[in-house]
Amino acid sequence: MGKIGLIIKREIMAKLRSKAFVVMTFLGPLLFAGFIMIMFYATKADKTEQNILVVDETQFFKDKLSGNDYISFTYSSKKLEDALTDLYKSDKSSILYIPNNLIDGAGGATKIFYKKTPGFAVQTYVKSQIEKIVYEYKLKANNIDPDIIHNAKQSVKLIMEKVNENGERAESLSDVASISGFLSGAFMFIFILIYGMMVFRSVMEEKTNRIVEIIISSVKPTQLMLGKILGIAILGILQFVTMSLLTIGLTTILSMTVLKDVQKDFTKFQKQQEQVFKNGATADLDNMDKMQDKLEAFDAIEKVRRLNFLEIGICFLFYFIGGYLFYSSLLAAIGSAVDTEADSQQFMMPIMLPLMAGYLIAVNMMMNPEGNLAIWGSMIPFTSPIVMMARIPNGVPLWQILASLGILYASFFGTVWLAGKIYRTGILMYGKKTSWREISKWIFYK
């Protein structure tokens, strides 16, 4: 094993020895899974049984309100005050009060008197039920057949299709693509930051505990710097792969057990979609409506499934390597030039600003996915890892990706060379307050 190999190994072992690192690797996916579970249960929680007693002063709504799988309506002839007194003696969960001036009069307010707060879904359901009944009644009262209105309303599906230079069309995934683009850009930002800072801190540690001079009497300073950067890169990739696998594993287990119902509904939805495409309008529309609230969610999931995951994954790997190497060598140079983390602030700024700029461009791209800012940002090596990742779900020509990667990797050779020169002088400097001028002189030392 060459000397760089020894250094890489030591760097990896030192981090693995730290409990915090190992814990985070496992905690991350667990937290993520927990988050999904909480989301799921939050929506499910609404499904506690609601037996609603209807006190209807208009006498109009009797038997007209339809329940669903957890909401049922019973009609009472009692007066409101009696019903209220009797509420806790009965097994009803709440009282729906409809005032007698609801339809014809000034439009009074309906009320729900509850023992325990019903969820938002219940409120929405009851409200929409009442509104629907009143609506249909008013139409009929004016001799308009509600079915005509219903059929006139047509939800129009808007499809975005990208045209390339050859006139070929490809359906794009627009909003889902924008969000996943932003997310991949954000992830890239976080990863480069975390691992770049690890390099920085490792350099500072060696300077602070004064071991660095002993080591550079055995290896060249650039070997030490590169070994450190590569070691942490391997660590980063390892952690990323572990966390990804864990997350995939956990979500698969979840979807097979707890989220089984969602999975079932989703498969039902997909089958219906197929039916509609095959049979057109003669498909079973009634069944469709029940899915209305979930329709958008399922549509989104469908789009997510159609994302170019392989392309995103491969590009993420290449851009992470390029971006990390680029930034970590700069951070290594700064780490070597200062004595304490406090001193480093003034030097960190110019390095952090372009990284943040990349992130901001990615945010901006949700509005404007293919503006000039995005294109330039995906080429300039400072911002390209983040911005290009944000562009990829929307489809980027291969030549642009290759050009951007080429520029990034060429720049990284430059930054490593530069950083090496600064590093090997900086690590031996103690106690001097450095300035940018001072550092630039070091580039020319032998």
Q: Considering only residues 110-139, where is the footprint of other proteins by CB under 8 A? A: none
Separation CA 411–CA 406 (nearest Å): 8
Q: Is 186 in the site for other proteins (CB under 8 A)?
A: no
Residue 390's nearest CA partner among 202, 190, 183 is: 183
Q: Is 16 in the site for other proteins (CB under 8 A)?
A: no
CB of 410 to other proteins, least distance (A): 28
- Looking at residue 177, its amino acid is A
Nearest residue (CB) to other proteins, 35 versus 417: 417
Q: What is the DSSP string of 48-107?
A: S-EEEEEEETTS--TTT----SSEEEEEE-S-HHHHHHHGGGSS-SEEEEE-TTSSSSS-
Stretch that binds other proteins, among 12-20, 147-155, 157-165, 339-347 (CB under 8 A): 12-20
Nearest residue (CB) to other proteins, 15 versus 92: 15
Q: Which of 88, 277, 399, 430 binds other proteins (CB under 8 A)?
A: 430
CB of 415 to other proteins, least distance (A): 22
Residue 71: strand pairing partners? 50
Task: Report residue 422 as tokens.
Answer: 């600064």
CB of 442 to other proteins, least distance (A): 9
CB of 354 to other proteins, least distance (A): 29
Stretch that binds other proteins, among 3-11, 114-122, 277-285, 287-295 (CB under 8 A): 3-11
- Looking at residue 65, its amino acid is L
Nearest residue (CB) to other proteins, 173 versus 427: 427
Stretch that binds other proteins, among 2-10, 91-99, 142-150, 393-401 (CB under 8 A): 2-10
CB of 433 to other proteins, least distance (A): 14
CB of 237 to other proteins, least distance (A): 23
* C-alpha 64, offset from chain centre: 43
Residues 6+ apart with CB under 8 A from 110: 96, 97, 98, 99, 102, 126, 127, 130
Q: Which residues of 352-386 are buried (b: 16+ CB within 10 A; e: fewer)?
A: eebbebbbbbbebbeeebeeebbeebbbbbbbbbb
Q: Is 6 in the site for other proteins (CB under 8 A)?
A: yes
CB of 196 to other proteins, least distance (A): 21
Separation CA 427–CA 70 (nearest Å): 69
Q: Is 356 in the site for other proteins (CB under 8 A)?
A: no
Separation CA 8–CA 218 (nearest Å): 15
117 burial class (0-12, 13-18, 19+ CB within 10 angstroms)? exposed
Nearest residue (CB) to other proteins, 166 versus 209: 209
Nearest residue (CB) to other proteins, 433 versus 446: 446
Residue 169's nearest CA partner among 156, 160, 178 is: 160
- Using CB under 8 A as the criterion, what x/- string covers residues 189-218 for binding other proteins? ----------------xx--xxx-xxxxxx
Q: Which one-letter DSSP state was computed for residue 118? A: P
- Looking at residue 336, its amino acid is S
Q: Which of 17, 19, 157, 278 binds other proteins (CB under 8 A)?
A: 17
- Using CB under 8 A as the criterion, what x/- string covers residues 382-421 for binding other proteins? ----------------------------------------
Nearest residue (CB) to other proteins, 116 versus 210: 210
- Looking at residue 137, its amino acid is Y
Q: What is the DSSP string of 125-184?
A: HHHHHHHHHHHHHHHHHTT--HHHHHHH--PPPP--EEE-TTS-EEE--HHHHHHHHHHH
Nearest residue (CB) to other proteins, 9 versus 294: 9
Separation CA 415–CA 272 (nearest Å): 55
Residue 45's nearest CA partner among 70, 28, 72 is: 70
Q: Considering only residues 216-245, where is the footprint of other proteins by CB under 8 A? A: 216-221
CB of 200 to other proteins, least distance (A): 17
CB of 341 to other proteins, least distance (A): 16
Kindly list the residues in this chain that would bind other proteins in the complex (CB under 8 A): 3, 6-7, 10, 14, 17-18, 205-206, 209-211, 213-221, 428, 430, 441, 445-446
